[in-house]
Amino acid sequence: TRPTVWVSQPLIDAAIAPLRDRVQLRTTDTVTAWSPQQIAAQLADVDGAIITLNERIGATQVADAAQLKVIANVGVGYNNLDVDALSAAGILASNTPDVLTETTADLGFALLMATARRITESERWLRDGQWGQWSFQTMLGADIHGSTLGVLGMGRIGQGIARRGAHGFGMKVLYHNRSRLPADTEAALGATHVDLDTLLAQSDHLLTVLPYTPASHHIIDAAALAKMKPSATLVNIARGGIVDELALADALANGRLAAAGLDVYEGEPNVRPELLALRNIALTPHIGSASLATRTAMVQMAVDNLLAGLGLDGSPSRMPSAINADAALAARAT
Ligand code: GLV
Ligand code: GLV
């Protein structure tokens, strides 16, 4: 009999369709906020699952999932998965890196520009009928070209942003990352490694692009914000928990930071009223990877991972982007 696979949300039909010949599919036509118990129930009788960042999966969700072999996460960040718990249960997990890098870097830059040049604020002002109040000083923003761009987290997306800043906009690019890039990569990107305090102090525009882990939780807190220039802008496209949102709202409200752009939030899909109340903030609903081509490629990559993980195409040890292959396969062997 064919393996059974749960697809947690409506994704991109054209990319899911090829699976229908290979597995027994359980899909949904409705965007669903699955409860932790519902996720456990869905996983209890399937061999594989394709899920999004909205589904949190830990030990409790897989406790009854006796036949579950693979969870393919459609997204690069996988802080929604308890990887250790999955490994211990012999369940392979995968994500979708690389295919979304440039699209997400584009969004980071778009949000940076919207923030620095007050694009969304200007549009609200125009729609509110305030143009009649125009003055020579209306909507004065900060320049992007020739300014200093700080990139916190220098993975693939961070490198895409650095390249855009250095080569497209003539920015001086500083970055901070736990591990330094090789000198030739730094030179090609036009980026200089600095410590975190220097990054905070010298950036005119700071973009956070680092994975969300216990170490990066609230790495931008009140103390970090206090080290930034009052004229600076901050853009977060990684995960909400990287920024202390209340400290950010306070800094924005009190002139200690010029503006911020957020694509991610601590309580998605809820956005704090303290943020919504601010004039000097550009807000988008986690659309970093949301181009049609890239979302399609992400689903295709999740399908490829799933098929390999189930041993239907290639082998479980050869998933295109496994997160925990060695640990999960070792746990199965014992
Ligand atoms: C989206 O945020 C992702 O991690 O792919
Ligand atoms: C994050 O994983 C990145 O690719 O930057």
Confidence of residue 124 (pLDDT cuts 50, 70, 90): very high
pLDDT value of position 316: 94
Determine which residue's CA is closest to atom 1 belonging to ligand 2: 155
Structural domain containing residue 278: 101-283
| Residue 116 and residue 243 in one domain | yes
- Token pair for 82: 């308890």
Residue 105: nearest ligand to its CA?
2
128/168 same-domain check: yes
Q: What is the enclosing helix (H) or strand (E) of 4?
A: strand 4-7
Q: What is the pLDDT of residues 271-330, one digit of tens each?
A: 999 999 999 999 999 999 999 999 999 999 999 999 999 999 989 999 999 999 999 999
Judgement on whether residues 31 and 176 belong to the same structural domain of the protein:
no
> Among the three residues 242, 264, 283, which one is the final residue of a domain in this structure?
283
Query: 140 and 277 share a domain?
Result: yes
What's the rounded mean pLDDT across residues 173-199? 97
In this structure, the number of other CB atoms found within 10 A of the CB of residue 70 comes to 27
Shortest-distance ligand to the CA of residue 289? 1
Mean pLDDT for the chain overall: 97
Distance 97 CA to ligand 2 centre (A): 7
- How far is the centre of ligand 1, averaged over its atoms, from the C-alpha of 289 (Å)? 7
At residue 1 the predicted structure's pLDDT band, cuts being 50, 70 and 90, is confident
**Same domain, yes or no: 112 and 91:** no
pLDDT confidence of residue 188:
95
Q: What percentage of residues in the chain have a pLDDT greater than 90?
A: 99
Residues 196 and 320 reside in one and the same domain: no
* Count of structural domains within the chain: 2
Ligand 2 center to residue 155 CA distance, Å? Answer: 5
103 close to ligand 1 (CB < 6 Angstrom)? no
ipTM: 0.67
- Say yes or no: 80 and 128 in one domain: no
Rounded to whole angstroms, the Cα distance separating 61 from 305 reads: 21
Atom 3 in ligand 1: residue holding the nearest Cα: 75
What is the per-residue pLDDT for 154?
97
DSSP string for residues in 225-277: HHTS-TT-EEEE-S-GGGB-HHHHHHHHHTTSSSEEEES--TBTTB--HHHHT
Per cent of the chain over pLDDT 70 is 100
Q: How confident is the model at residue 111 (pLDDT cuts 50, 70, 90)?
A: very high
**Interatomic CA distance for residues 330 and 334, integer angstroms:** 7
- Answer yes or no: do 235 and 322 share one domain: no
Task: Assess whether the C-beta atom of 97 lies below 6 angstroms from ligand 1.
Answer: no
* Statement to judge: residues 115 and 89 lie in one domain: no
Which tokens hold the place of 51? Answer: 């899920």
Rounded to 10 degrees, what is the CA torsion of 181, 184, 190, 193?
30
Spacing, Cα 132 to ligand 1 middle (Å): 41
117 shares a domain with 38: no
Q: Which residues are catalytic?
A: 239, 268, 286
pLDDT at 68 over 90: yes
> Cα(244)–Cα(21) distance, rounded to whole angstroms?
47
pLDDT digits 0-9 by tens, 13-43: 999 999 999 999 999 999 999 999 999 999 9
Radius of gyration over alpha carbons of the chain, in Å? 22
Do 249 and 269 belong to one domain?
Answer: yes
- Kindly list the distances between the CA atom of residue 9 and the CA atoms of 12, 23, 118, 220, 249, in Å, as whole numbers in the listed order: 10, 17, 34, 32, 33
* Spatial distance between the Cα atoms of 59 and 86, rounded to a whole number of angstroms: 7
The pTM of the full predicted model, rounded to 2 decimals, is 0.94
Note the pLDDT of residue 62.
98
List pLDDT tens digits, range 84-102: 999 999 999 999 999 999 9
Q: Which of 53, 73, 76 to mutate to test the pocket of ligand 2 (most atoms within 8 A of CB)?
A: 76
CA dihedral (222, 191, 189, 180) in degrees, to 10, reads: -80
Shared domain check, 105 and 94: no
146-179 pLDDT, tens digit each = 999 999 999 999 999 999 999 999 999 999 999 9
Reply yes or no on whether the pLDDT at 268 is more than 90.
Answer: yes
CATH number for the domain spanning 179: value is 3.40.50.720
Q: What is d(CA 320, CA 314) in angstroms, rounded to the nearest whole number?
A: 10
Does residue 245 surpass a pLDDT of 90?
A: yes
